[in-house]
């Protein structure tokens, strides 16, 4: 499958970084150059199932992309008999989940200028992806890598999809629950009394922008914004903070709210200002625009990255990481 690949023996593993559904990630050093890298060992399925589609998707997408806010796939290497496949990435020091947890463990929160720096870089990465017709579909804290000099890089492209105009239907069962947009939640069969809606729907980059809004809130709070236990509870938490949508603010939402497994009392007001007193009017406008119910009105990456919130004081400045966090 990868006939020109080098051998994984060119790298020496020195420790495990983490493991997921689709593979295990190791910290490693290239023997010849001494460069640090991250190596993802792909979890191969049975011979009948073939090579994992998520890995193929990640390889194909990352081989097309090059941007300072996107993690770099350096090469694909294999074992000598080609039975094992490994993706070699540039090395990053940690991820945002570790950063926020480490800061919170000290009963502290990130400063607003640090949040601005991180969010701005995430949005820069999303502008690049969306300009290249790519939806990430799994933005979350652990998929945003962070270097000690303050650089942010978007990673984990296993759920990525290319989109086009007109939009194609995709499955709603994407995006980790806490970052999943309401249009995905409301069309899921698990929240409805009957499976009247198709299992696929057309959606676009707006699902990434909702996730970016959730990340913005989480960076400010030091904890997840909507930590739902399941899809219904996720909707409950969203509506409690943002109010209940209606056809005036999101056309067709009242129909989506029908025949759910639970009913929602109308709430016409948002509690964002009360939840985030540290934000200026511009900051609240950006957060509200990212967490807009109507995906057609939700802020795009371009609109968000150009928002005047980033021009007002305090100006964005990176969080310098100490050894205690790394």
Binding residues: 40
Strand partners for 75: 88
Structure tokens at 247: 């056809």
Count of C-beta atoms within a 10 Å radius of residue 244:
19
Distance CA 313, CA 244 (A): 33
Structure tokens at 278: 């540290």
State CA 209 to chain mean position distance: 9
Question: What pairing do the DSSP bridges indicate for beta strands 94-95 and 169-170?
Answer: unpaired
Distance CA 315, CA 310 (A): 7
294 included as an active-site residue: no
Asked whether the bond before 107 is cis by omega within 30 degrees of 0, the reply is no
Distance CA 194, CA 197 (A): 8
Structure tokens at 210: 């909702």
Residues tagged in the binding site annotation for ATP: 40
Q: Where are the alpha helices (DSSP H) in the chain?
A: 53-62, 96-105, 112-131, 182-185, 206-221, 231-242, 253-257, 272-275, 281-290, 301-305
Structure tokens at 165: 């105009």
The active-site residue out of 95, 138, 156, 208 is 138
Structure tokens at 252: 């067709």
Strand partners for 14: none
Residues recognised as catalytic: 138
């Amino acid at each position: 499958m990868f006939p020109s690949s080098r051998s994984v023996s060119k790298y020496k593993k020195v420790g495990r970084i983490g493991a997921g559904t689709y593979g295990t990630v190791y910290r490693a050093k290239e023997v010849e150059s001494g460069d640090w890298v991250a190596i993802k060992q792909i979890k191969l399925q049975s011979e009948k199932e073939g090579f994992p589609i998520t890995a193929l998707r990640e390889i194909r997408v990352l081989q097309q992309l090059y941007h300072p806010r996107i993690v770099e796939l350096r090469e694909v290497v294999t074992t000598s008999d080609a039975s094992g496949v490994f993706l070699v990435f540039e090395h990053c020091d940690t991820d945002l989940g570790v950063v926020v947890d480490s800061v919170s463990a000290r009963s502290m929160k990130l400063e607003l200028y640090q949040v601005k720096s991180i969010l701005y870089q995430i949005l820069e990465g999303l502008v690049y992806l969306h300009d290249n017709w790519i939806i990430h579909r799994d933005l979350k804290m652990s998929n945003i890598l962070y270097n000690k000099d303050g650089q942010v890089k978007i990673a984990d492209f296993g759920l990525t999809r290319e989109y086009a105009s007109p939009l194609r239907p995709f499955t709603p069962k994407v995006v980790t629950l806490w970052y999943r947009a309401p249009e995905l939640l409301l069309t899921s069969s698990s929240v409805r009394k009957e499976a009247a809606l198709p299992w696929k729907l057309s959606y676009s980059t707006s699902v990434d922008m909702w996730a970016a809004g959730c990340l913005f809130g989480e960076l400010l709070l030091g904890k997840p914004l909507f930590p739902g236990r399941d899809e219904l509870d996720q909707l409950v938490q969203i509506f409690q903070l943002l109010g209940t949508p209606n056809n005036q603010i999101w056309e067709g939402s009242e129909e989506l709210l029908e025949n759910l497994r639970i009913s929602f009392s109308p709430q016409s007001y948002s509690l964002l200002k009360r939840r985030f007193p540290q934000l200026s009017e511009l900051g609240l406008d950006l957060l509200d625009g990212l967490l807009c119910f109507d995906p057609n009105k939700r802020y795009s990456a371009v609109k968000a990255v150009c928002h005047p919130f980033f021009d007002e004081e305090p100006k964005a400045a990176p969080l310098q990481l100490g050894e205690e966090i790394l």
